Chains A and B, each alone.
Chain A
Amino acid sequence: MGIGPTETVADHAADTPATAQEIAGRSPTKIALDRLRSDKIAMICLGIVVLFVLIAIFAPLLTRLFGVELRGGVPIEDTKADSFPIIGPPDYGFTWEAPFGLAPTTGDDNLAEWFYGARTSLFVATVATLVSTVIGIIVGLLAGFSRGWLDRVITFFIDVFLSLPFILVALALSPIIVSRFGADAASLERWSMFSLLFVLSALTWMTLARLIRGEVLSLREREFVQAARVIGVPTRSILFRELLPNIIAPIVVSISLGLPTFVTAEAGLAYLGIGVAGIPSWGQTVNRAVDYFSTYPVYLYAPVIGITVLVIALNLLGDAVRDAFDPKTRR
C-alpha cells in the first residue's frame, strides 16, 4: 500500500482536542490516580495503611527493636497468683520492658503479639481479597461473555452462594475442615488458616462476579468488541485486553470494600471461635482480652485500636479511590 497523506483535512484544525499542547495522552486510570494524589485525606489514610503494612512486614525486626519476645512468657515467673503480670498494667505503671503490658495467665508480651497480629490481619485480608477478587473477575467474565447455558449455570451458582448465610456456613464449615485435616499442631495451624481464608473468599466473590457479569453483558455489545472480533483477536485477548481494562472501576471498588471488611471479619470470626490457631492475631487477642475488660482494659484496647484505625483508614482511602475512579465524576 503506497502511503502518503491523501488529503489535508479541513476539519483537522477545527477538530483538534482542547489539550493541544500536551501530546502524551492520559489514560482514564492515570486521570483517576492524579485525582487521588491531590486528595489530602486519602494521602493521610494511605500513609496510615502503609505504616501498618510496614509493621506487618517488619514485625520480627520491630519486636527485636523493642526488646520484646513473641510468646516468650513463663506463667510462673511473669504472673502473680491472681494471674495478672508482675510488671506493667494493670497493677503497675508503664514500663519499656513491656510497652503494652503482658498478657494475663500466660505472661506473653502484648506488643509482640500486636505486631504479629497486624501481620496476620493484613495477610488474611489481602489474601482473601485477592482470591475473592480473582474468582469474581474470572467467573463474571466467563458468565457475561459466554451467554447461553454456561451463563445460566454460573448465575445459578452465584445465586446459591449469595443465599448462603455467611456466619452460619462459617460456623459449620471451619470446624469440619479443621478437625478433618488438623491432626497435629503444625497442620492445625496451616489448616485453620486455610479454612479461614477459604470461608472468607468462598463466600464473598459473588458480588463482584455479578457486577462484572453485568458490565461485560453491556460491554460485549459495544462495537469495539465486535471490531476486535472482525480483526480476529482471540477470545482470551478480548476478555483480558479489551474488556478487563474497562471494568477496573468495579474491581477497584470491590477491593476497597473488601480489605476493611476482611480485617473486621477476621476479628469477628475469631471472637466466634473460628480463626487461626497457634498464630497471633488481633482477633484472637480480642477474644482473650474480652474476659479481662473490667480488670485489665489496656489488654483489649491495643488490638481494638489497631483494628479500628486500620479499618477507618482503609475505608476512607477506599472512598477516595471510588470517587477517583467513578466515571461520573471523571472529566
Chain B
Amino acid sequence: MSSMTHSGAQPQVATAPNTDRGGEPVLEVTNLRKYFPVKSSGVVRRTIGQVQAVDGISFQVPKGGSLGLVGESGCGKSTTGRLITRLWDPTSGSMKFEGREIGNLSNRQMLPLRKEIQMIFQDPYSSLNPRHTVGSIVGTPLRVHQVVPDRQRLDRVKELLEVVGLNPEHYNRYPNEFSGGQRQRIGIARALALQPKLLVADEPVSALDVSIQAQVVNLLQDLQREFDIAFLFIAHDLAVVRHFCPDVAVMYLGKIVEITDRETLYLRPHHPYTQALLSAVPDVKQAAIGGRRERIRLEGDVPSPVNPPSGCRFRTRCWMAQDICAKQEPPLLQIGPRHKVACHFAGEHGAMPTSPITLDALGVDQNGDHVSGETKSAEDLNAPGFADTWTDLESHKKSSERLVGDHIADRPQ
C-alpha cells in the first residue's frame, strides 16, 4: 500500500513542503483542559467527580484562516469555544491570542481583547434578547466599547445590517419578527460590529433549514474574505465544514483524535472515528469516480465524560479495538506534513495495519505493557501546530514491529 506513505516523505523524517500555507497563527491552543466539578446534592456539596469536557487539546488557527472543529454532541466543542472566548475559565492549558497568553486574564484585562475575539452562537432563537430591538442588539458592542460616537451608532448599525444582507430600515424591529436565517444574520452583524480578528462560530447553521444553511455559510465565507477574519468553525458533522475550512480537527469525548487538511481528511481519513463520521456524509465526488463509501454504523452511545474509558476513549465503539487500546492512550502523532492522528491502528479505511503503529512512540509491546529499556519518544505531542519534521506512518509501523510479539521474554515478571 504505497498510498499510505506520503509521496516525498523520507524514510524516517521528512520536511514539510508547504509551511507557508497557514501563515502566522492568530490563536494557539496548547493542552487545554476544562473539567466541570460534579457536586453531590445535599447541604454539604462535596465534589464527587469531574466532567472531563475538554481534556488536553492543542490546535492553532492561522491568521485569516479557518479551522473546523467537528464531533458528536457532547464531545466538548462548545466548551472549547467558550474557553477561547473566556466565558469559562480553563482548568489548565494555554491559549495564546496573537502570541499573548489569554487563559489567565481577568475579566477586566480581557475587556480590550473582547473586540478581537467574538462569537456566533448556535441557536438564533436564544442568542438574541427578545426584549431588545435589532438596533439595540447590534449597537450594544458599539456602545460598550465606544467604537463610534453615540450619534453615529445608528448609522453604523444600519451599515452592518446591510453587510449581512438585511434591510437596514428594520433596525427598530424585535427579533420575534424575523426568521431563523435572518436572526442568525443579526447575530453575525453583532459579532462583526467590533471588527474581530477571530470569530468562534459555534454551529452557526445547524439550527437552520438546509436551504438557508448554504446562504449563511456563503455569507460567512464572503465576510471572512472581505475582512480577513480567522474562524474557529464548530460543527457536528463534516458536511458543513468541508466548504469552509481548509483544516479540520475531529474531536471525540474531549480529545482531538485527528487533525489535518481538508483533502486528507475527506479522501484518506486515518482514524476509525473520522471514517465513521465521513461515511455518514453523502459524497457526490466519491460517487462520481465510482468509489462508493460503505456506511459505517457506530454501535452504542458516547460514554460519559465523567468516567471516560481507559486508554483510547473511542474503544467502546471502535470495531478495530484490541487489548492495547484499553491500556494505552494513543498519542496524537504527526504522520504527514499536515496530518496528526491518535490511533494505535491508524490507517486508511480498509487498509489499516494489523499490528499497532504506536509501540515505538510509547515504548510498549502490542499488549500495551511497558518494554524494559524502551522510552517514550521525545516528540512534543502537545504542539499546537504542525511540525516541520514528522515520522510517516510506514516508519512508525516498521519501528513498532520490532516491539511486537517476541518481547514477552523481556517483560518484567
Contacts and interface: CB of A to CB of B under 8 A. Distances in A.
Contact of A231 (B144, B174, B195, B227): B144
B181 A28 contact: no
Interface in B70-85: 82, 85
Contacts of B122: 223
Contacts of B166: 12
B152 interface: no
A11 B227 contact: no
Contact of B218 (A1, A7, A12): A7
B226 A6 contact: yes
A24 B133 CA distance: 10
A230 B126 CA distance: 15
Contact of A26 (B123, B140, B174): B174
A331 to B, nearest CB: 9
A222 interface: yes
Nearest to A231: B141
A11 B215 contact: yes
B163 A28 contact: no
Contact of B195 (A1, A7, A24): A1
Interface string B113-127: 010011101110011
B114 A12 contact: no
Interface residues of A, number: 40
Contacts of B133: 25, 27
Interface in A16-53: 16-17, 19, 23-29
- Chain A interface helix/strand/loop/mixed: loop
Chain B contact patch, size range: 35 or more
A3 B114 contact: no
B335 interface: no
A10 B185 CA distance: 13
Interface string A123-150: 0000000000000000000000000000
Contact of B123 (A4, A223, A237): A223
Interface string A50-85: 000000000000000000000000000000000000
Interface of B: 82, 85, 87, 110-111, 114, 117-119, 121-123, 126-134, 140-141, 144-145, 159-160, 162-163, 165-167, 169-170, 172-174, 176-179, 181-182, 187, 190, 192, 194-195, 211-212, 215, 218-219, 222-223, 226-227
24 contacts: A4-B163, A7-B165, A10-B215, A16-B167, A17-B173, A17-B178, A25-B133, A25-B174, A27-B133, A222-B126, A223-B122, A224-B127, A226-B119, A226-B121, A228-B140, A230-B119, A231-B140, A232-B114, A232-B144, A232-B145, A233-B140, A245-B131, A246-B129, A246-B130
What 5 A-B pairs come out closest when comparing CB atoms? A25-B173, A245-B131, A9-B165, A223-B127, A232-B114
